[in-house]
């Protein structure tokens, strides 16, 4: 039967080659040595390789590492035993780093009993792999849902008639936990904010305090100038004290018990307490004469008194009186305390007082009778913990309408409190030389430079660590490095460490933060704000920790 002319005017072999090249499946031929000798365009497109880069390469080269291991352990064995390995799932390693899942069919080519190579057909299995993953995920989700359902049913059986009560209790616990977390986050945010504000205030106070100190030292012809400068200096010193107290709130540092003069401490806090209490509350101080020193941490005692003062103020919305008293007195018999002598520090208010139930929970962390958003519920618990840590005790007494009394028993220190530190050495005792001064705050840098010049140093200024390093690379040889700690880019501590790897010179780190844990303990440091004598003493400490410049140059 005559079927007529062929559908296309091409030789049969040419048509087969076109079908081979453009087939939707990948095809490859491998010789007996395992090298690819032929590949169609579909496979080349999947791999993202030109034909000349693929031909001659081992068949294993187009497989992922896991696919190569699978080929050796399964495919090669199947081909050796049966001559075929159908329905084998492997991943191709594409040139762009992708993994292409394919389903392969491997056939051994044998002629006259001799193996000539392999033929492999590859089908894109991406959709199938995705479907399998989705199917597995759905199965896992269904299993998890079934497990959760079974667990819920078990809980429902367990709860039974008491379900509503248990749900209410659990809801109350979650609400309490959430409130505690919120208050903790508020404290953390307050500490971070306080530290940042204190840093900025310290930077502002440094040129003010230093400049006023310089003017006072040089004197002015105007007769009123000394009085004006002295008043401004006193205000700046009070501002420095206030910033230090703010930083004490922001830090929760370990206690450092020393001999503390409670009468002097409370007297020094009088103005701060008056500001905290407001005009409607009268403040009375009753300190026993010749009061011995207490073994305590001054910063923590100040914090405790401020906390108690705030609580007392809030308990007297219509005004009243707050009394802070201290006397030598042993704890009562029902209070167990460490052996030895004790002082009783009392804070007494005329506020609304507490009932028995409130009094019983007053020292619990996060317990507060104040409304939402007012207070953290940590004040009394922190004071209680402070007393216990110092080896003392805390007692609360209160009745509704009769105010509250907080007694804090502190152990008596064996040695008297330390006196004022020794004054800084005179300027003449300091060695002269060149100072590399680094600070990103222009006003602070200028004020510090003026003090250094007044001390007899020659000053070269740099606005950043990068500028300082550039000066050193250009050949500048300083005798001493004075650098701020926190600066954009590289910190002063990192700058000092980098310089000290190449040069042995005294280093002084200046910081606006009270917490300078990142500074190496062997590097001298100075806290902002500071006056000329503070700087002079810090320079002596810095130079004493390193060899003198002359000795350094002689050694080099």
Instruction: Verify that 405 and 471 share a domain, yes or no.
Output: no
Strand 281-287 relative to strand 320-328: parallel, antiparallel, unpaired? Answer: parallel
Instruction: Verify that 403 and 270 share a domain, yes or no.
Output: yes
Apex 350 CA angle, 281 and 309, nearest 5: 55
| 2: in domain | no
Give the pLDDT of residue 521.
63
| 40: in domain | yes
Instruction: Verify that 71 and 22 share a domain, yes or no.
Output: yes
| 226: in domain | no
- pTM of the prediction? 0.42
Last residue of a domain, one of 73, 104, 124: 124
| C-alpha distance from residue 379 to each of 121, 296, 547 (Å) | 77, 18, 49
| C-beta of residue 59 within 8 angstroms of C-beta of residue 34 | yes
Give the pLDDT of residue 243.
59
Give the pLDDT of residue 461.
92
Which one, of 461, 447, 369, 394, lies nearest residue 209 by Cα? 447
Instruction: Verify that 358 and 468 share a domain, yes or no.
Output: no
359's tokens: 């009094």
Distance of CA 46 to the CA centre of its chain: 48
| 464: in domain | yes
Give the pLDDT of residue 13.
57
Which one, of 205, 201, 378, lies nearest residue 307 by Cα? 378
| 132: in domain | no
Q: Which helix (H) or strand (E) holds 551?
A: helix 549-555
Instruction: Verify that 434 and 508 share a domain, yes or no.
Output: yes
Instruction: Verify that 471 and 508 share a domain, yes or no.
Output: yes
Last residue of a domain, one of 411, 440, 469: 411
| 434: in domain | yes
Which one, of 235, 232, 239, 237, lies nearest residue 200 by Cα? 239
Give the pLDDT of residue 82.
80
Q: How far apart are CA 170 and CA 164, in angstroms?
A: 10
Number of domains in the chain: 3
Instruction: Verify that 403 and 482 share a domain, yes or no.
Output: no
Instruction: Verify that 455 and 372 share a domain, yes or no.
Output: no
CATH code, domain carrying 63:
3.30.450.20
CATH code, domain carrying 539:
3.40.50.2300
| 213: in domain | no
Instruction: Verify that 270 and 406 share a domain, yes or no.
Output: yes
Per-position pLDDT tens, the chain of length 556: 333 344 444 555 567 778 888 888 999 999 988 899 999 998 999 999 999 989 999 988 889 888 888 888 888 888 877 888 888 888 898 989 888 898 888 888 888 878 888 899 999 888 776 766 766 777 777 788 777 877 877 777 677 767 677 777 888 878 877 765 665 565 455 556 555 666 666 666 677 766 667 776 766 666 666 666 676 667 666 666 655 545 544 443 445 678 899 999 999 989 988 888 888 999 999 999 989 998 888 877 887 888 888 888 888 888 899 999 999 988 877 666 667 788 999 999 998 888 877 766 666 554 555 544 444 444 566 676 667 777 777 888 888 888 888 888 888 887 654 444 444 444 444 457 899 999 988 888 888 888 898 888 999 999 999 999 999 998 888 989 999 888 888 888 889 888 888 888 899 988 865 444 456 666 788 877 788 888 888 888 888 766 444 333 333 3
| 139: in domain | no
Instruction: Verify that 266 and 407 share a domain, yes or no.
Output: yes
Tokens 């034909």 found at: 51
Q: How far apart are CA 289 and CA 42, in angstroms?
A: 100
Last residue of a domain, one of 124, 153, 168: 124
Which one, of 57, 47, 12, 53, lies nearest residue 26 by Cα? 47
Containing structural domain, residue 468: 427-555
Give the pLDDT of residue 72.
83
Instruction: Verify that 268 and 402 share a domain, yes or no.
Output: yes
Give the pLDDT of residue 50.
93
Instruction: Verify that 431 and 511 share a domain, yes or no.
Output: yes
Give the pLDDT of residue 244.
55
Give the pLDDT of residue 247.
52
């Amino acid at each position: 039967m005559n079927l007529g002319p062929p559908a296309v005017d091409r030789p049969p072999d040419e048509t087969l080659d076109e079908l081979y090249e453009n087939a939707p499946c990948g095809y490859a031929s491998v010789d007996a040595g395992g090298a690819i000798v032929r590949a169609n365009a579909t496979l080349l497109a999947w791999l993202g390789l030109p034909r000349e880069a693929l031909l001659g390469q081992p068949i294993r080269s187009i497989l992922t590492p896991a696919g190569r291991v699978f080929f050796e352990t399964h495919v090669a064995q199947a081909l050796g035993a049966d001559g075929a390995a159908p329905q084998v799932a492997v991943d191709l390693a594409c040139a762009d780093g992708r993994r292409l899942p394919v389903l392969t069919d491997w056939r051994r080519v044998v002629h006259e009993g001799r193996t000539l190579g392999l033929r492999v057909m590859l089908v894109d299995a991406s959709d199938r792999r995705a479907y399998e993953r989705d199917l597995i995920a759905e199965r896992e989700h269904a299993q998890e849902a079934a497990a959760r359902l079974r667990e819920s049913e078990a809980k429902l059986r367990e709860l039974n008639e008491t379900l509503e009560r248990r749900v209410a209790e659990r809801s109350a616990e979650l609400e309490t936990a959430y409130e505690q977390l919120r208050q903790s986050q508020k404290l953390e945010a307050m500490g971070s904010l306080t530290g940042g504000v204190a840093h900025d205030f310290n930077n502002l106070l440094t040129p003010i305090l230093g400049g006023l100190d310089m003017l006072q030292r040089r004197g002015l012809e105007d007769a009123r100038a000394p009085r004006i400068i002295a008043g401004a200096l006193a205000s700046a010193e009070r501002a420095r004290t206030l910033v230090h107290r703010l930083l004490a709130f922001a830090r929760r540092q370990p206690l450092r018990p020393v001999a503390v003069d409670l009468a002097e401490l409370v007297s020094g806090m009088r103005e701060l307490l008056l500001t905290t209490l407001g005009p409607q509350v009268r403040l009375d101080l009753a300190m026993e004469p010749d009061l011995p020193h207490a073994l305590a941490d001054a910063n923590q005692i100040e914090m405790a008194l401020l906390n108690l003062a705030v609580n007392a103020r809030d308990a007297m919305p219509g005004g009243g009186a707050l009394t802070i008293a201290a006397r030598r007195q042993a704890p009562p018999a029902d209070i167990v305390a460490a052996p030895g002598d004790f002082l009783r520090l009392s804070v007494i208010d005329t506020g609304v007082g507490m009932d028995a139930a409130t009094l019983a929970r007053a020292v619990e962390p996060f317990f507060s009778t104040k409304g939402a958003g007012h207070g953290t519920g940590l004040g009394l618990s922190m004071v209680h913990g402070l007393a216990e840590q110092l080896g003392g005790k805390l007692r609360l007494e209160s009745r509704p309408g009769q105010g509250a009394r907080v007694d804090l028993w502190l152990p008596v220190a064996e040695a008297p409190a330390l006196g004022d530190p020794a004054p800084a050495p005179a300027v003449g005792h300091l060695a002269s030389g060149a100072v590399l001064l680094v600070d990103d705050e222009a006003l602070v840098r200028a004020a510090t430079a003026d003090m250094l010049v007044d001390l007899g140093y020659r000053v070269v200024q740099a606005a950043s660590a990068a500028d300082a390093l550039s000066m050193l690379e250009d050949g500048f040889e300083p005798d001493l490095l004075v650098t701020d700690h926190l600066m954009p880019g590289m910190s002063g501590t990192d700058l000092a460490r980098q310089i000290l790897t190449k040069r042995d010179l005294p280093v002084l780190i200046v910081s606006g933060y009270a917490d300078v844990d990142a500074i190496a303990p062997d590097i001298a440091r100075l806290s902002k704000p500071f006056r000329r004598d503070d700087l002079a003493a810090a320079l002596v400490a810095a130079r004493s920790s390193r060899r003198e410049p002359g000795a350094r140059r002689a050694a080099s």
